[in-house]
Amino acid sequence: MTDDGFLNRRSVIQTLGAGVMLTTVGCAPATRALKLEYPRAYSRKPWAAPHISMDAVIRVIVGHRPYRPNGFRVEREQYDDKVVIHNYGHGGGGLSLGWGSSALAVREVADLVPDQVAVIGSGIMGLCTARLLQDAGWSVTIYTRDVYRHTTSNVAAGEWGPFSTHDDGQVDTVFLSRLDWAARVSHHAYTNLTGAKYGIRWMEFYELYDAPLVEPGRATFDDLYAYQGDLVPGEHPFGKRYARRTVTMQIDPGTLLRQLTADFQLAGGRLIIRNFDNRANVLALPETVIFNCTGLGAAALFDDSNLVPAKGQLVYLPPDPAVDYMTLGGGFGGEHGFLHMFPRRDVLLLGGIFKLGDSSRNVEADETERIVQEHMKLFDSFG
C-alpha cells in the first residue's frame, strides 16, 4: 500500500508490497446490516453486508490472465498460402474487450471473400470472433483444446471494466486509440445483451481508497459509466474510506460463454476438440484463413515473448441475493493485486491477486485467508 491510497485500477498494476502479516481468520460471518440509511445511486434496496467467513468458502480456483505489457495483439500475418489473424493478450480486460477486439480482428479480413475460416480457441475472444465472422458471411469452425467451461475466460470474475490490460510506459497513442475503440464497441454490444439469458446485469460499483482521489488519471471512456460520483467518509457505509461510485455491467462468464456457444452452433458453426502442439499443426488446418485466439497458448505457438501469465485466485462463497453492489479495493490487495467482491447470482466471488509471471496452478492457502480476512474487515464498518 502506498501513501496515496489503494491501487487505482485506471493505472498499470504495480507492486503493493508483501510485508503484511496475516492474523488468524475468525469463523464467524460478517455482521449483516440491512437498513443503513445512505442514499443509493441506482438500487432501491437498503445496504446489506455479505456473509463472509472461512467456514463459508465452497471453492477456490486459480486462473491465468494472458498479459502483454505492450498491449493486446490484433494483427494479420501471412504464412505462404495461409492468413493468420492474431487476437490475444488482453490481460485482465478480456471479457470487457471481447466484442471490440474481435471486431478489430475481423476487420483484418474485410478485403477477402467470405468462405471457410478457422478460429483457434473457445474463450471469450474465440467465441466473439466466431460470431462476428458468422454475421459477416463466413462458415466458421472453432478448434479448441478445451470447451468454454474450462477456459481462462470462464474463471474471470466478470465486470465491464477494460483495465489491467497493459503497462502505460510500453504503449503508444496508436494502441490507446485501438483500446478506446474496442472498449466502446464492446460496451455497446453488451448493452444489447443484458438480461438473464446472457448473464449480464447493471449494478452499482464502488472503488474504495484510503485518501481522496486526485485527478487527472481517469480513463477516456469514463463517459460510459452511469451515476458517477466521488464520495467522502459519511456518504457511504464503507467506514473512513473514500469511494468512487459508478454503475456498470456485471458479467457472469459461465452464462455468457454457454449462450455464445449455443448461438454459434445454432448459426451452423462447428466445434472440434483439438490440441495444437506447435505452429505447424495450426498451419496444417484445411482452412486458409485462421484466427488465433489462443490466449496464453500464443506464447509457444507463435513465439510471443511479450506474453506472460498473470495469476489470479478467486474464492467462491454461496450466493447472497441481498447484496447488489460490487466493490474494488478497501484493504490490502496482496502482491500485484487488488481486492474485489462481485455478488453473482450463482456465487459470491472474492478476489485479490494479480501476480505477473506466475504460471503456478496451485491454490495458495495464505492468499485465500488474506482475501477472506481483508473482506471481513472491509464490511466491519456496516455495524
| Chain mean pLDDT for the chain | 88
* Contact (CB, 8 A) for 99 and 189: yes
- Residue given cell 493468420 in the structure block: 84
SS3 244: strand
Upper half-sphere CA count for residue 164 (Cβ side, 13 Å)? 30
Q: What residues form DSSP beta bridges with 311?
A: 64, 355
pLDDT in tens, 148-178: 655 655 567 789 999 899 999 999 999 999 9
Cα-based angle 23, 27, 31 (whole degrees, multiple of 5): 100
* Residue-level pLDDT at 22: 33
- The grid coordinates listed for 374 are 481483508
In the chain, where the domains are located: 1-60+203-218+308-383, 69-172+253-306
Candidates 64, 58, 57; CA nearest to 88 is 64
pLDDT tops 80 at residue 23 = no
SS3 163: coil
pLDDT in tens, 237-286: 999 999 999 999 999 999 999 999 999 999 999 999 999 999 999 999 99
Enter the pTM of the model.
Answer: 0.89
Candidates 216, 180, 203; CA nearest to 251 is 203
- Select the more confidently predicted residue: 39 or 6: 39
Encode burial over 9-24: b for 16+ CB neighbours within 10 A, e otherwise.
bbebbeebeeeeeeee
Candidates 342, 294, 348, 7; CA nearest to 153 is 294
Percent of the chain with pLDDT over 90: 79
- Select the more confidently predicted residue: 14 or 184: 184
* Residue-level pLDDT at 37: 82
* Contact (CB, 8 A) for 31 and 383: yes
d(CA 250, CA 175): 26
* Contact (CB, 8 A) for 208 and 330: yes
Pairing between β-strand 226-231 and β-strand 200-209 as defined by DSSP bridges: unpaired
d(CA 117, CA 291): 8
> What is the CATH topology of the domain spanning 69-172+253-306?
Rossmann fold (3.40.50)
Strands (E), the chain: 59-67, 73-79, 82-88, 116-120, 139-144, 200-209, 226-231, 242-251, 270-273, 289-292, 308-317, 325-329, 340-343, 348-351, 355-356
pLDDT in tens, 309-361: 999 999 999 999 999 999 999 987 656 578 999 999 999 999 999 999 999 99
Least confident of 137-151, 192-206, 316-330: 137-151
pLDDT tops 50 at residue 128 = yes
pLDDT tops 70 at residue 33 = no
* Residue-level pLDDT at 338: 85
Cα dihedral 195, 94, 164, 364 sign:
positive
pLDDT in tens, 34-84: 567 899 999 999 999 999 999 999 999 999 999 999 999 999 999 999 999
